[in-house]
Amino acid sequence: MHVHHLLQLDDLDLGLVWGDESLLGQEISGVTATDLEDPTRFLQPGEIVLSGLVWWTPDDGPARTERFVSALRAGGAAALLAGEETHGAVPEELVDACRAHRIALLSVPSRTTFRAITEAVYLRQWGDLSRRPSHLYALPENVRAELGRLSERGASAAELLDRAFAHLGSPPCYLLTSSGRTVARTASAPPLPARRAAESLRGAHGTTLRVDADGTSFDAWHLHVPGAVEAPPRALHEIAEVVARYRSHHDRRESARRRAGQELVDLIGAFGPEANDVEGVLRSCGLPDEGPYVVVVAAPAAIDERPERPERPERSDRSEHRDRPGCRDALAEALSHVRTAGFAVGERSDGEAIAVVGIRAEGEPHPGAALPTGAVFPTGEEFQAELRQVWPLVQACRPDTALYAGVSGPVATAAGLAAAVTQARYARAAAPAAAPRGARVLAVGDLANLEALLAGVPGDVKEVFSHRVLRALLPVERASNAVLLETLEAFLAHDGSWARTAKVLHLHVNTVHYRIARVEVLTGRDLSRLDHRLDLRAALLCR
């Protein structure tokens, strides 16, 4: 394992502070955690050093930092992994010292434990060892043979887990996605809610191995044993390799459904003979022949909507490439958490993901779905609530990309899907401004006021409308225009009450009358008319 491999582990979320290609290519021989000011006697060449920087304070001179980093250099350390929890960030003084002594420096966010890093390094090293040509296996021959037979006959992931862990005493074990969805579990493992599962993957309890397959950062599989298990690490890696082969077969089986989902998205809104093919493609996607359906549109925040975050190094692992543009897999993973009567997902060339989802009508079973015994699929409102609940778990898999989703109203037939896409796309555009605080999923039915409705209008359209209606009051740099706009906003906010407007602005009522009269003359609007008031209110909201 080399230093740059640490940056490719999504679960650790490490950041590169400083280090060139040659330093990042150094092989890691082990791990040492220390907060000693001089750790020389505890270091072995090639080790990475984990430090919470407890030994450093802002009042220290550079001598202490120089002593610590020079000790790392003398001991042959491959890299320093500095924790951010103590000081909130990696001190610039430490960055300068590492650059001077040519020690690669990585930052460790407060949510990542040193234990998780240590386990990741040693499990990777054990995995590399187990993959070398060898006649020695940790799993007994009869277990490996049976796992091979189960895989060939298409056994479920749960069967594979049960048989793989039977000779280890059948400890509870889960196969989890990065967002906490349980793909499979052993018979001894109780149900694990998605939120708790996601916390377990990011925590320091138990043993977790990422299955080496083509999963993305949203739907990658992880083998998670929550308790202590008496098993050689190589045995766990061999089980993970069996599961990885199962994942590869699973993905190949799902490829036809994935292609059908893309075809469905391409056909929605088509004109001419192609539109008649939608119903046939719905069936090939596993969706009911009849509605109701809803459409979900997901896309990243626009550039100016994204939260500011420190720059991160470009990663080269294949899951990151598959994540670009990044929405289809996120949306598919979110919908896999939610009860539905089936769904299909596709992606536009601009990265926007679109899903068609089968739901049920209020108070009725779904008329077109072959439901499992006892299955109850959600209504439109229940579906929206469940999607909002799981969206943060999916978003947490890629916190550096703000993903928003819009949900259409229910449509009864396939003919209504094109209109549903328009609704969902509009709700998605409005979500950054109009979604409930902290939420990133907005349904078109939530657009219950003028401000929420206008939030989905493209910014350049809002700018043109606002300028057209308020142009006589612009630019606001002019003092007279500024006070007129202030008075207009207060007047409309207080339902056209002269007295309340005067009170909140600390003005005489006659002054308010004068200013509003000026607004009416300059804008050509009569504020005694409701439609003219709405024009001005909308123009103010569009500014």
Q: Which residue has better confidence, 351 or 65?
A: 65
Per-residue pLDDT at 398: 84
* Crossing angle for the helix pair 62-75 and 92-101, to the nearest 10 degrees: 40
> pLDDT digit string (tens) for 433-465?
877 776 799 998 888 778 778 877 877 887 888
pLDDT of the residue at 240? 85
pLDDT tier for residue 305 given thresholds of 50, 70 and 90? very low
Residue 497 reports pLDDT greater than 60: yes
Q: Which residue has the higher pLDDT, 126 or 525?
A: 525
**Least-confidence region, from 138-142, 165-169, 509-513:** 138-142
**How does DSSP assign 404-434, residue by residue?**
EEEEPPPBSSGGGHHHHHHHHHHHHHHHHHH
Integer angstrom CA distances of residue 477 from 148, 515, 521:
75, 17, 20
Query: Which comes out higher in pLDDT, residue 61 or 6?
Result: 6
Confidence bin at 269 (pLDDT 50/70/90): low
pLDDT at 274: 55
> How many angstroms separate the CA atoms of 283 and 332, rounded?
18
> pLDDT at position 362, please?
61
8 Å CB contact between 504 and 494: yes
d(CA 192, CA 181): 9
Q: Is 135 left (phi over 0), alpha (psi -120 to 50) or beta?
A: alpha
Residue 316 has pLDDT above 70, yes or no: no
Task: Give the mean model confidence (pLDDT) for residues 489-511.
Answer: 91
CA distances from 140 to 32, 125, 137, 166, 167 (A): 33, 21, 7, 11, 9
Q: Is the pLDDT of residue 142 over 60?
A: yes
Helices and strands in the chain: count of H runs, count of E runs = 20, 14
Over residues 52-79, the mean pLDDT reads 90
pLDDT at res. 138: 67
pLDDT value for 65: 93
pLDDT digits (tens, 9 = 90+) for 166-189: 878 888 999 999 899 999 999 999
Stretch 273-282: mean pLDDT: 69
Tell me the pLDDT band of 374, cut-offs 50, 70 and 90.
very low
Is residue 490 over pLDDT 50? yes
Contact by Cβ (8 Å): 411, 420: yes
Please check the confidence at residue 271 and state whether its pLDDT lies above 70.
no
pLDDT of residue 476: 66
User: What pLDDT, on a 0 to 100 scale, did the predictor assign at position 132?
Assistant: 47
Look-up: residue for tokens 């609940």? 389
Q: Is the dihedral of CA 497, 498, 501, 506 positive or negative?
A: negative
Q: Residues 68-116: pLDDT tens digits?
A: 999 999 989 999 999 998 888 999 999 999 999 999 999 999 889 888 8
Inform me whether the pLDDT recorded for 136 exceeds 60.
Answer: no
Higher pLDDT, 305 or 98: 98
pLDDT over 70 (residue 322)? no
Q: Which residue, 409, 441, 411, 410, is CA-closest to 428?
A: 441
Cis amide bond preceding 475, omega within 30: yes
Listed in sequence order, the residues at least 6 apart from 410 whose beta carbon sits closer than 8 Å to its beta carbon are 291, 292, 293, 294, 359, 361, 380
In order of start, what are the domains of the chain with their CATH numbers?
3-119 (3.40.1390.20), 137-249 (3.30.450), 268-455 (3.30.70), 459-541 (1.10.10.2840)
As a three-state string, the secondary structure of 471-482 is: HHHCCCCCHHHH
User: Cα torsion for 411, 416, 421, 424, to the nearest 10°?
Assistant: -30
